[in-house]
């Protein structure tokens, strides 16, 4: 059996999928032409940003997490924001069924932040560990930028592998937060910490 | 008959019906094959579509999160289906995301160009969009090998073969029906011919019977004529004798003479002869009373040897072989008459002289011998009279026993001798048989049933000695 991996045009795909406007696309093509490196900071965060809201399709929150039947899915960026305005443009108009996806930036995370997906960038005001601790036990899908072994990681922690953006999933933490990460997403994870794990 | 005719018409119609049936069968076979083919394609199509849908659902996350390795795992899992020749996942721009193909098959295209599923060159190209959150994020492509035409034809060959065989069978039956119909028609015609022949035969038999009746009638008339002639002639002679003698007697008496005794005797003799003639006629008509008594034929013949010799004259020699010892029951006088009659007939058959053999013997008939076909088995006394005379031709032999039939000139025979003898023998429960060969002679055989109760054998022997 032969396998055909279509890795050549990743940047283009990402650009299309994230619906970047023309200048950004042009910039990306230039970058691609120059380096063809997926790990290039802005491209990396474009991909991570796109993933951020796409996780919504593969996660189930308890009904209580949404005030109304068609309440918005709040994607929060806490502290440092590596995505920039491109993410605002990418999220604009995205929906999860009847729910709109709304991007919010907050400085400090609390139990009442009303976030469903929370990218914890960490800042002087609130460390990553503190932000994670603040929302522990509430239905929030926490996402951290770089997986650190033994460190403060969210339910989903991005990682770079073979020049690709991958992620680890802490399903146990998801269980503690009362949210369900669906199997297709678990199947894509680089590593999964199962629910029964210590 | 009308029923048969109806059936016949039905038979006649059968070949065309059978032909129609055969054609129908073939058409049905082809239709069935086409239908099965379509069903097969539709089913295969559905199967592959379902697999494509499952794959599309499975690889959604992998496509969304750009994980072609996981997508590849899903695709590899499909390899267990031998019908799948190639499979691929394309991203939303139509570029190859992940794919596999079998070693001898074309790899999936680098870009997906087609929009819809298609069947091409015995291959099913199935496209299924990958939908995530209501948005198409890619396309799943499956290429399945449908069975080759040869394989399918082979699969349908059985059906077609059956259909063809059934058609052939029907055709053979039809031809058999036709042959049978023809044979039936021929048979019917033969039967009709046969019936016609039978009718003609019956008509001919009737005509023949009529002709025979007429012949018999004419024979009877002829016989009556002969009888009348013979009897009239005989009586006339006798009457002449009687009249002559009476006239002589009358003349003598007028002359007063008394020597008239011989005229009276002559007249009386004539009267006696007339009486005998009457007796014979009566015997012929079987009105003559018989007085049967136990008779030993050997002794009877022995006693009348002298009479026989006088009757046949000097030219004819009589030889007797008298071995019969059993007794029989009959009228001895009539039996004597019969034997005398036969001897005289024998003499008449030998105008130039000859020999008459008279034999008697005892015989036991166990089985019906050919010469005595209708005779009951038992003990009999046989008497045969054989001459070395002229014999009788067939037509004479056949009429020999008929009354009044005679080959002798008018006046010499009444034609009653053999007939009366036959009548008498039958009346005495005996049998009379005539064998004759022209130029060699005639044998008359008489069989009389043994009279067992008469006298014990020992006494019989004593008496005989």
Helix (H) or strand (E) holding B365: strand B354-365
Torsion angle in degrees (nearest 10) through CA of B324, B327, B328, B331: 100
How much is the ipTM here?
0.71
CB-CB under 8 Å, B93 with A6: no
Find how far residue B154's CA is from the centre of its chain. 57
A187 in contact with B, Cβ within 8 Å: yes
Q: How far is Cα A125 from Cα A106, in angstroms, rounded to an integer? A: 11
A60 in contact with B, Cβ within 8 Å: no
Q: How far is Cα B406 from Cα A85, in angstroms, rounded to an integer? A: 163
CB-CB under 8 Å, A165 with B133: no
Distance from CA of B48 to the nearest CA of A (A): 19
Burial level of A104, CB count in 10 A (0-12/13-18/19+)?
Answer: middle
Q: Which residue of B has its CA nearest to A184?
A: B61
What are B130's two structure tokens? Answer: 């990958």
Nearest alpha-carbon partner for B145 in B111, B89, B102:
B102
Nearest alpha-carbon partner for B356 in B304, B322, B317:
B317
Q: List chain A residues with CB under 8 Å of B131.
A: none
Q: Out of B61, B92, B99, name the one closest to residue A17 (CB).
A: B92
Residue A106 half-sphere exposure toward CB, CA atoms < 13 A = 20
Burial level of B137, CB count in 10 A (0-12/13-18/19+)?
Answer: buried
CB-CB under 8 Å, A3 with B98: yes
Q: Out of A14, A96, A164, name the one closest to residue B133 (CB).
A: A96
DSSP state of B289: P
Q: List chain B residues with CB under 8 Å of A51.
A: 65
A163 in contact with B, Cβ within 8 Å: no
CB-CB under 8 Å, B79 with A6: no
Distance from CA of B81 to the nearest CA of A (A): 13
Q: List chain A residues with CB under 8 Å of B134.
A: 95, 97
Q: List chain A residues with CB under 8 Å of B81.
A: none
A190 in contact with B, Cβ within 8 Å: no
pLDDT digits (tens, 9 = 90+) for A67-105: 777 888 999 999 988 988 889 988 888 888 888 999 999
| pLDDT at A76 (0 to 100) | 93
Q: Which residue of B has its CA nearest to A10?
A: B66
pTM above threshold 0.80: no
| pLDDT at B197 (0 to 100) | 95
pLDDT tens digits for chain B (465 residues)? 455 555 555 555 666 777 787 788 788 888 888 888 888 888 888 988 998 999 998 888 888 888 888 889 888 888 888 888 899 999 888 889 898 888 888 888 888 877 788 887 778 888 999 988 788 889 999 988 877 667 777 877 877 788 788 888 888 888 888 899 999 999 999 999 999 999 999 999 999 999 888 888 877 777 677 667 777 877 888 888 899 999 988 998 899 888 888 888 888 888 888 887 787 677 656 555 677 888 999 999 998 887 788 778 888 889 999 999 899 988 888 888 888 888 888 888 888 888 999 999 998 887 655 455 567 778 889 999 999 888 888 888 777 777 667 776 655 566 667 877 888 888 888 888 888 888 888 899 999 998 876 554 444 444 443
Q: How far is Cα B342 from Cα B354, in angstroms, rounded to an integer? A: 14
Q: List chain A residues with CB under 8 Å of B70.
A: 187-188
What are B184's two structure tokens? Answer: 């039936």
| pLDDT at A13 (0 to 100) | 46
């Amino acid at each position: 059996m032969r396998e055909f991996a279509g890795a050549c045009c990743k940047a283009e795909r990402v650009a299309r999928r994230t619906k970047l406007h023309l200048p950004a696309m042009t910039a990306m093509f230039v970058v691609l032409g120059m380096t063809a490196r997926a790990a290039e900071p802005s491209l990396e965060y474009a991909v991570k940003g796109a993933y951020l809201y796409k996780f919504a399709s593969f996660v189930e929150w308890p009904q209580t997490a949404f005030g109304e039947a068609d309440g918005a899915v709040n994607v929060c960026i806490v502290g440092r924001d590596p995505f920039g305005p491109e993410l605002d443009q990418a999220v604009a108009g995205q929906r999860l069924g009847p729910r709109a996806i709304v991007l919010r930036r907050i400085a400090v995370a609390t139990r009442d932040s009303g976030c469903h997906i929370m990218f914890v960038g960490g800042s002087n005001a609130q460390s990553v560990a503190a932000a994670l601790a603040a929302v522990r036990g509430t239905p929030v899908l926490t996402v951290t930028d770089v997986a650190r072994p033994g460190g403060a990681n969210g339910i989903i922690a991005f990682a770079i592998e073979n020049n690709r953006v991958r992620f680890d999933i802490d399903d146990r933490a998801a269980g503690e937060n009362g949210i369900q990460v669906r199997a297709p997403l678990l199947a894509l994870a680089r590593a999964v910490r199962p629910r029964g794990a210590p | 008959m009308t029923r048969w005719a109806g059936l016949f018409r039905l038979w006649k119609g059968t070949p065309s019906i059978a032909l129609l049936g055969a054609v129908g069968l073939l058409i049905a076979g082809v239709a069935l094959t086409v239908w099965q083919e379509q069903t097969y394609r539709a089913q295969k199509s559905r199967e592959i579509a379902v697999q494509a849908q499952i794959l599309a659902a499975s690889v959604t996350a992998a496509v969304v999160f750009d994980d072609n390795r996981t997508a590849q795992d899903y695709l590899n899992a499909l390899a267990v289906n031998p019908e799948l020749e190639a499979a691929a996942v394309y991203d939303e721009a139509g570029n190859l995301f992940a794919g596999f193909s079998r070693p001898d098959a074309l790899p999936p295209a680098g870009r997906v160009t087609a929009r819809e599923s298609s069947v091409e060159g015995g291959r099913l190209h199935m496209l299924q969009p990958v939908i995530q959150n209501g948005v198409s994020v890619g396309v799943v492509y499956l290429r399945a090998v449908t069975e080759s035409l040869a394989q399918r034809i082979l699969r349908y060959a059985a059906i077609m073969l059956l259909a063809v065989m059934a058609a052939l069978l029907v055709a053979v039956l039809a031809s058999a029906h036709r042959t049978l119909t023809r044979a039936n028609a021929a048979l019917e015609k033969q039967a009709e011919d046969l019936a016609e022949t039978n009718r003609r035969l019956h008509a001919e038999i009737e005509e023949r019977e009529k002709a025979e009746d007429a012949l018999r009638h004419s024979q009877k008339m002829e016989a009556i004529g002969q009888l009348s002639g013979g009897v009239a002639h005989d009586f006339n002679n006798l009457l002449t004798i009687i009249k002559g003698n009476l006239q002589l007697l009358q003349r003598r008496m007028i002359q007063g003479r008394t020597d008239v005794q011989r005229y009276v005797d002559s007249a009386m003799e004539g009267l006696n002869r007339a009486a005998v003639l009457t007796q014979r006629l009566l015997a012929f008509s079987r009105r003559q009373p018989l007085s049967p008594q136990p008779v030993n034929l050997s002794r009877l013949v022995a006693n009348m040897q002298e009479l026989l010799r006088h009757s046949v004259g000097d030219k004819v020699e009589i030889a007797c072989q008298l071995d019969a010892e059993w007794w029989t029951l009959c009228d001895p006088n009539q039996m004597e008459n019969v034997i005398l009659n036969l001897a005289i007939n024998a003499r008449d058959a030998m105008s130039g002289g000859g020999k008459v053999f008279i034999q008697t013997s005892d015989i036991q008939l166990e089985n019906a011998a050919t010469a005595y076909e209708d005779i009951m088995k038992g003990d009999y006394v046989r008497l045969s009279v054989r001459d070395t005379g002229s014999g009788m031709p067939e037509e004479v032999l056949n009429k020999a026993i008929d009354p009044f039939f005679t080959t002798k000139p008018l006046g010499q025979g009444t034609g009653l001798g053999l007939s009366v003898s036959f009548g008498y023998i039958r009346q005495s429960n005996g049998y009379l048989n005539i064998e004759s060969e022209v130029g060699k002679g005639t044998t008359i055989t008489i069989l009389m049933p043994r009279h067992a109760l008469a006298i014990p054998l020992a006494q019989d022997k004593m008496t005989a000695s």
